[in-house]
Structure 1
Amino acid sequence: MSVVGAPATAPPAVPGSRAGTRWRLWALGAICAVAALLYAWKIGDGRLGNTYYSAAVKSMTHSVTNFLFGSFDSYGVFTVDKPPMALWPQAISVLVFGYHGWALLLPQVLEGVAAVFLLHRTVRRWAGEDAALLAALILALTPITVAINRDTNPDTLLVLLLVAAAYAVTRSLQAQSGRGRTTWLVWCAFFVGCGFLTKMLQAWIVVPGIALACFAGTDAPVKRKIMDLLAAGAALIVSSFWWVALHDWWPGDKPYMGGSTDGTAWNLIFGYNGFGRVFGGDNNMSFGGGFPGGLPGDLPPGLSLPSGLMAAFGGGGTGLGRMFGDGVGDQISWLLPLSLLVLVVVAVAGVRRMRAKLPAEPAQRGGWLLWGSWLLVTAVVFSYAQGIWHPYYTTMLAPAIAAISAAGLVRFGRAYRDSEGMGWLLLPLAIALTAAWAFVLASRAPSWHGWARWALLVVAAVAVAGLVIGRLSPSWTSSLGRPALVAGLVALLLVPGVWSAGTAFQATSSGGMGLAAAGPAAAGFGGGMPAGMPGMPGMPPGMPGTSPAAANGLAGMGNPFSGGGLTDEQRRIVDYAKRHSDGAAITLAVNSPAMMSANYIIGTDETVIGMGGFMGTDPSPSLDQLTGWVADGRLKFVLSSASGASAAPPGRGFGGGMSGDMGALMGQRQQWVEQHCTPVDPAAYGGSPRPATPLPFPLSMVGGGQTLYQCHA
């Protein structure tokens, strides 16, 4: 096929007419406007995103130390389990506009649109204007990207920073001077370092590909390449670890580093949020192949968890099929087969050019290595991650898929027009392959805009038929080929575009765990708790293993996935604690994972603290801290599990489903509560009776059946 021997991408763009330039600018503006519409639609309609981060943003506005370290609570007990760079823009927005959902999400919208724009500028330098516009459109219409940019998770900023790094390395590859090449490469390292301070080691996944692209993408002497990479490495280390050093060497009081075992950011990087995410471990609940502790065996007989819950936590089992599986494929993989096809064709073309000893194009080759390694390495790491892994992480794949797909389609279009061999078949093959996979994905949720899959088949059939017929005669290639190509592009983007629009325009109030997902509301808790979750508000009494009395008691405790809203009973609990706390510095301590305590932080202006970090398993506050706080009158009320939960067998009851030190820490804290505090009669604050027996995981994990305790020195 002649396309195999063709240049790696389109030749360098030449300045076009003013009208042509104006048209492209308007097209880019329209794409950015579509992205802004999808990301910003009704963000002020009660949306708070991931309440774990949203609560921290509110707390960060209370002091400089809280802001600097990302404290989860206003008292500065512990931080979120990541560096706070992604939360800083949100906190600044809240300081300017006040604490509202749209103020939290506005920075996310701006960062998402900026990523679309910057991807265009990056691909434009590498593959030309047409590929750049198409790449920007693909990124804007990627379903999981739309979902994540409407949430408060750090992935939005991470994607922007990594695209900025790709732009910088592209400029480095094309620099005309050695100094310019080094300068842009250092900027690339700086942006990756900022990504590290956004989501730690996940940002470094692209580093091997960047190094490979820089080494193979220029004609500079080997010694100069090594020196450039060393300079970039130094910049990467400084920009990645300055905040880590600041936290660990801070001389004054500071919040405990959430997610760590010893309170240091260093431990978090290489433990829970580093290698623990890849390899799992006792302190990193491994959801990759299911739940810890033998779940669903930990659940009462006859009770199982919804498939949406399993997919939301772990994205299915590990392996190369994960990116295509239920709960993941429909988020990101719409154009993944096309991207893989493009990479195979480019790889074959590269080998044939080397064998034919044709002139090399280092910058073009470097671009393919950059985007190809970004896609392949990230996909492999995500596919085999053993620790906590959520499908929305795949938004990091979106820029690479967009760049590769767009550049490949432009290349296939050129081969269709110019090839004298069989290379023209690549374009109809790409359209047919992508349409078939989109039909499979859409068929997994036929109730969610299922009409689009049938429309897709019609448009794809017209496109493929038009392209094939158009090649029968040279005179038909232009008259039929161009409209067929347009129809093919529509076929490629129709269903993911519908999913993206549906995700944006359904505008449900996102909250709770904030496991952002495109598609049906229950796909990743994006719209709340999945249907069928046992014992939660709105569920009928009598679920297996949950008595009617327990279910009625749970209803008064509210839904921890509700997105910052407190029930009337929860507000009465806070009011009671405030009236009887005698001016205590801490109005209420919530002994439960952060998804429960976050609602209290968001829903009240009182000083409410969480206990145990995100999963309730961190050693913060310590038992000595709790004893000291009670002794000096800083803490009088704790909301915790029903009395007797600590007597449950290991891995069950409060913290059921946890194993090892994780369950032990939760049990010790519960025992402290029972030894130093006495339950408050719910009638004193107008509450409902609490369940008399411990609740199974995951109800205990989300704070089900909690009791208000009053502590005494």
Structure 2
Amino acid sequence: MNQAKRRIDPVLVPILLLAAILNGYGIWNDQYANSYYTTAVGSMLRNFHNFFFASLDSAGSVTVDKPPVVFWIQTAFAYVFGLHGWSVILPQALAGIGSVLLIYFMVKPTFGLAAARISAMAMATVPVVAAVSRTNNIDSMLVFTLLLGSWFLFKGAGKGSIWRLLAAFGLIGLAFNMKMLQAYMILPAFYLFYLLAFGAPWRKKLLALVGGTAVLAAVSLSWAVTVDSIPADERPYIGSSETNSVLELAFGYNGLSRLTGQQNTGNRGMSNAMGAGNERGDRSGETAAQETNGGAGRADRSGMEISPGTPDDASNAGGDGDGRSNGMNGTGFPQGQMPNGFEMPTGMDFAGFNGGGGMGGMFGTGQKGPLRLFQTELSGQASWLLPTALLGAVVLLAGIRRRNVTEQHKQTLFWLAWLFPAAAFFSVAGFFHQYYLIMLAPPVAALTGAGFVAMWKAYRERQGWMAWLLPLSVLLTTVFGWYIMQAYNDTIGAGWSIGELAAGVLISLVLVVMLQRAHSLKQPLAIAGFMVMLIGPVYWAFTPITYGGNSMIPAAGPTGSNGMFGGGGMGGRNTGMAPPNGGGNMNGWQPSMGGNNEGASAQAGDIPAGTPGMGNGNADRNRSSMRGSGGPGNRNEQVDETTLNYLREHNTGETYLFATTDYNQAAPYIIDENEAVITLGGFSGSDPVYTTKKLEQLVESGQVKYFMVGGMGGRGGNSEITNWIKEHGTEVPASEWTSNAEGGDSGFGGQTTLYEVQ
């Protein structure tokens, strides 16, 4: 017992406690988390069919747009604890804490206890880690799995264990079944480290590498190949895919399209809702099979694919290589036109930076280029300690020779081979969200810990030019921290940025002065320098708690993440849509982008008083106030009791309470009431899940008779389906079925209408 106690590092305990607070405090206040994924968990709890395929709706008709492994874990937690926001967030919060532990145990054997402590502290306080881990988005679990695979790789290489090597590659395959190609960002580091560190003759080494790669491929493709081999009419439609294929989804929509920024699904846009007719087709002669499988003559898929509150992404409506399509402004809207009379804010291009680079600018990801990670839009997420990490790597590799490659050199190269390809991707990618930058957190944290200790040793021992890198790293990192924070002085005050800058400059100067002297204060000064460098990231890591978070598109920062325009520079707490330059004429547009709009930057008079979702955070949630969601993807997050009672009272034995063209309308009824609801078109409403023939069969067989149409505007989806519902259904007067006298929630496209089809 005493030996066990001695093994517990007393410094690690408060670091883990800090990580637990940052990742878990207040998650019980998030009722729905990312409602897209929580809705899927609610549907997966119903039966094994829905569970295996990660079905979005109760009918098992369409999947979410990611593989199922993380949702299987969330479903298990929901099964044990009940379906709540906190129960589906909890696995990710625990994964965030686990990542801190793994970094500690991976760094300690090679670089020492001090380096492990610093690395763990750095990992715990990377702001984007805290922001993502307190949501039910996939990335926190993804990073934990990649780190676990890396730990097995380190152990396997050190002991020459082929089984550990195979387990390492198998875990990367498992990570692929969490978020597809994003998991492969680590492969350059894996292969490089294996070739450098695995102790075995070259023949055995190559054979083992072939075996590891085979395990990687087999595990990666296991679910995808299984699902794709099942006939399309016996499984759900693969949500957000173009060809109803998991493999196409993996390598297209969730793969190369991230790099190019050209989301194929974007051409479905809002063309029908806005009259653009971008991907229209006369479907009169198309068979049901063709529609289901998304062939060349596919349905008019007019759902709002550009929804700012996408589960993990939003489509770029461009098909011309510059973020534009057929005269549109990158949104699916015809140039100069916006829904319900909304005018494009002055100088704002929804495709971001005049259409270049897809959706980059729109989601606060800055301009492409080698310094993108240092731009204001992204730097606050994971870049704070990059100067220290890079300077530390210089010291760590300074003594490397061809015949003298130590374990420290090998592991340093591993972390750099993780960092550089990921950083390069984010520097040039056409489309991603800020929270994807969690992929940078492990290598930055590990290199910061190992590198800072190496710089300290060089400074203490006065090793020539390397001795100067410690004060230089303190200076550059604190100056960079000032640069990040000063952009938010109006929100947080200038004291934070100026305080860090002044303290960093002072400590750097003292370290320089004391360089050639032997003094007992050197080590306390070095520690103080590191603590000063943490002022910014620690503050930012707490912002999801202090300023409110965004479960749909999480990001750290004192303005929160607001989904459409990214997480920076929008002012206020949990700001909703606050367009720059006054925001144009908002009259008539009710985009439901509220939240707690304290300090919203739109000018007075731009937004009419009482606009649903645009007022204060206490607005009637049945009118689409979206607390903490930051985008239209989390609308309607509350059951309308009038609607629920009407549908239950008038149910005459139908299997499903209702079907809807907008999953947001289904979400609260599935999550809160455990009702069976059909979503007709997946996330965007535009996936060709149903044909009119299938709808007719559903009605005739007595499975459903009520259909909600509208809500998220173009998210109404396939116009053929919508027209069939309107043609064969009877509109139910709003006064009978909803507490909203205007007739259902008002979104981009106006009111929701309920039809009874018999």
Q: TM-score, normalised by structure 1?
A: 0.83
CA shift for structure 1 position 486 = 1.2
- Please give the alpha-carbon distance, in whole angstroms, between the structure 1 residues aligned to 2:628 and 2:474: 41
Matched with 2:191 is: 211
- Please give the alpha-carbon distance, in whole angstroms, between the structure 2 residues aligned to 1:21 and 1:134: 21
TM-superposition CA deviations, 1:659-710 (whole Å, max 9, x none): xxxx9x6333333333333332212225445599x99xxx53xxx4232232
Matched with 1:705 is: 750
TM-superposition CA deviations, 1:317-343 (whole Å, max 9, x none): 333333223332111111123323334
CA shift for structure 1 position 395 = 0.6
Does the C-alpha gap of structure 1 residues 640 and 316 become closer, same or farther in structure 2, counting only changes over 3 Å? farther
Q: Which one of the candidate residues 239, 242, 258 is aligned to 1:258?
A: 239
Amino acid at match of 1:491: V
Q: Which one of the candidate residues 444, 452, 466 is aligned to 1:401?
A: 444
Amino acid at match of 1:458: A
Does the C-alpha gap of structure 1 residues 19 and 429 become closer, same or farther in structure 2, counting only changes over 3 Å? farther
Q: Is the 8 A contact 2:18 2:124 kept in 1?
A: yes
Does the C-alpha gap of structure 1 residues 79 and 420 become closer, same or farther in structure 2, counting only changes over 3 Å? closer
Q: Is the 8 A contact 1:322 1:383 kept in 2?
A: yes
| Secondary structure at the counterpart of residue 589 of structure 1 | strand
**2:365 aligned with 1:315, yes or no?**
yes
Q: Which one of the candidate residues 135, 154, 158 is aligned to 1:174?
A: 158
Q: Which one of the candidate residues 682, 685, 706 is aligned to 2:737?
A: 685
TM-superposition CA deviations, 1:237-296 (whole Å, max 9, x none): 121122223323347943222122233322211221122222223325228987873147
Q: Is the 8 A contact 1:205 1:374 kept in 2?
A: yes
Matched with 1:142 is: 126
CA shift for structure 1 position 137 = 0.7
TM-superposition CA deviations, 1:180-205 (whole Å, max 9, x none): 1x222211101101110110110011
Does the C-alpha gap of structure 1 residues 461 and 550 become closer, same or farther in structure 2, counting only changes over 3 Å? closer
Amino acid at match of 1:614: F
Q: Which one of the candidate residues 518, 526, 530 is aligned to 2:556?
A: 518
Amino acid at match of 1:535: Q
- Please give the alpha-carbon distance, in whole angstroms, between the structure 1 residues aligned to 2:611 and 2:349: 23
**2:78 aligned with 1:107, yes or no?**
no
Matched with 1:484 is: 525
Amino acid at match of 1:363: E
- Please give the alpha-carbon distance, in whole angstroms, between the structure 1 residues aligned to 2:85 and 2:613: 31
| Secondary structure at the counterpart of residue 674 of structure 2 | coil
Q: Is the 8 A contact 1:44 1:101 kept in 2?
A: yes
Q: Which one of the candidate residues 27, 49, 58 is aligned to 1:74?
A: 58
Amino acid at match of 2:329: G
| Secondary structure at the counterpart of residue 640 of structure 1 | strand
Matched with 1:589 is: 659
> In the TM superposition, what are the counterparts of 1:360-399 in structure 2 within 5 Å?
360-387=404-431, 389-399=432-442
CA shift for structure 1 position 376 = 0.7
Give the count of matched residue pairs: 654
> In the TM superposition, what are the counterparts of 1:301-700 in structure 2 within 5 Å?
302-304=343-345, 313=363, 315-346=365-396, 349-350=399-400, 353-354=401-402, 359-387=403-431, 389-450=432-493, 451-473=495-517, 475-476=518-519, 479-506=520-547, 508=548, 510-511=550-551, 514-525=552-563, 530-532=576-578, 535-536=590-591, 557-559=623-625, 566=636, 570-592=640-662, 594-641=663-710, 654=714, 666-688=718-740, 690=742, 699-700=747-748
Q: Is the 8 A contact 2:360 2:430 kept in 1?
A: no
CA shift for structure 1 position 149 = 0.7
CA shift for structure 1 position 528 = 5.8
TM-superposition CA deviations, 1:518-554 (whole Å, max 9, x none): 1235424498662437524569999879999999999
- Please give the alpha-carbon distance, in whole angstroms, between the structure 1 residues aligned to 2:79 and 2:256: 35
| Secondary structure at the counterpart of residue 99 of structure 1 | coil
Q: Is the 8 A contact 1:680 1:707 kept in 2?
A: no
Amino acid at match of 2:374: F
| Secondary structure at the counterpart of residue 710 of structure 1 | strand
Amino acid at match of 1:214: Y
**2:156 aligned with 1:187, yes or no?**
no
- Please give the alpha-carbon distance, in whole angstroms, between the structure 2 residues aligned to 1:316 and 1:598: 33
Matched with 2:251 is: 270
CA shift for structure 1 position 47 = 4.3
CA shift for structure 1 position 619 = 1.1
Does the C-alpha gap of structure 1 residues 597 and 705 become closer, same or farther in structure 2, counting only changes over 3 Å? farther
Does the C-alpha gap of structure 1 residues 551 and 90 become closer, same or farther in structure 2, counting only changes over 3 Å? closer
CA shift for structure 1 position 111 = 1.3
Q: Is the 8 A contact 1:566 1:600 kept in 2?
A: no
Does the C-alpha gap of structure 1 residues 21 and 573 become closer, same or farther in structure 2, counting only changes over 3 Å? closer
- Please give the alpha-carbon distance, in whole angstroms, between the structure 2 residues aligned to 1:601 and 1:529: 28
Q: Is the 8 A contact 2:660 2:679 kept in 1?
A: yes
Does the C-alpha gap of structure 1 residues 125 and 435 become closer, same or farther in structure 2, counting only changes over 3 Å? same
- Percent identical pairs in the alignment equals 29
| Secondary structure at the counterpart of residue 714 of structure 2 | coil
| Secondary structure at the counterpart of residue 10 of structure 2 | helix
| Secondary structure at the counterpart of residue 86 of structure 1 | helix
Q: Which one of the candidate residues 280, 286, 291 is aligned to 2:316?
A: 286
| Secondary structure at the counterpart of residue 272 of structure 1 | helix
TM-superposition CA deviations, 1:196-250 (whole Å, max 9, x none): 0110110011112211121123454332221121011011012112222332334
| Secondary structure at the counterpart of residue 135 of structure 2 | coil
Does the C-alpha gap of structure 1 residues 544 and 419 become closer, same or farther in structure 2, counting only changes over 3 Å? closer
Does the C-alpha gap of structure 1 residues 542 and 424 become closer, same or farther in structure 2, counting only changes over 3 Å? closer
CA shift for structure 1 position 490 = 0.7
Does the C-alpha gap of structure 1 residues 521 and 605 become closer, same or farther in structure 2, counting only changes over 3 Å? farther
- Please give the alpha-carbon distance, in whole angstroms, between the structure 2 residues aligned to 1:32 and 1:130: 16
Q: Is the 8 A contact 2:559 2:575 kept in 1?
A: no
Amino acid at match of 2:643: I
Amino acid at match of 1:457: L
Does the C-alpha gap of structure 1 residues 151 and 290 become closer, same or farther in structure 2, counting only changes over 3 Å? farther
Does the C-alpha gap of structure 1 residues 386 and 623 become closer, same or farther in structure 2, counting only changes over 3 Å? farther
Q: Is the 8 A contact 2:166 2:211 kept in 1?
A: yes
Amino acid at match of 2:720: Q
Q: Is the 8 A contact 1:678 1:710 kept in 2?
A: yes
Does the C-alpha gap of structure 1 residues 573 and 47 become closer, same or farther in structure 2, counting only changes over 3 Å? closer
CA shift for structure 1 position 585 = 1.4
Q: Which one of the candidate residues 53, 63, 66 is aligned to 2:47?
A: 63
Does the C-alpha gap of structure 1 residues 312 and 493 become closer, same or farther in structure 2, counting only changes over 3 Å? farther
Amino acid at match of 1:237: A
- Please give the alpha-carbon distance, in whole angstroms, between the structure 1 residues aligned to 2:376 and 2:668: 30
- Please give the alpha-carbon distance, in whole angstroms, between the structure 1 residues aligned to 2:8 and 2:510: 26
Does the C-alpha gap of structure 1 residues 541 and 395 become closer, same or farther in structure 2, counting only changes over 3 Å? closer
Q: Is the 8 A contact 1:443 1:453 kept in 2?
A: yes
- Please give the alpha-carbon distance, in whole angstroms, between the structure 1 residues aligned to 2:755 and 2:153: 59
CA shift for structure 1 position 620 = 1.5
Higher helix share: 1
| Secondary structure at the counterpart of residue 371 of structure 2 | helix
TM-superposition CA deviations, 1:30-49 (whole Å, max 9, x none): 21121112211122124432
Q: Give the unaligned 5+ runs of structure 1.
A: 1-17, 646-652, 656-662
CA shift for structure 1 position 431 = 0.7
CA shift for structure 1 position 562 = 6.2
Amino acid at match of 1:598: A
- Please give the alpha-carbon distance, in whole angstroms, between the structure 1 residues aligned to 2:435 and 2:246: 24
> In the TM superposition, what are the counterparts of 1:42-53 in structure 2 within 5 Å?
42-53=26-37
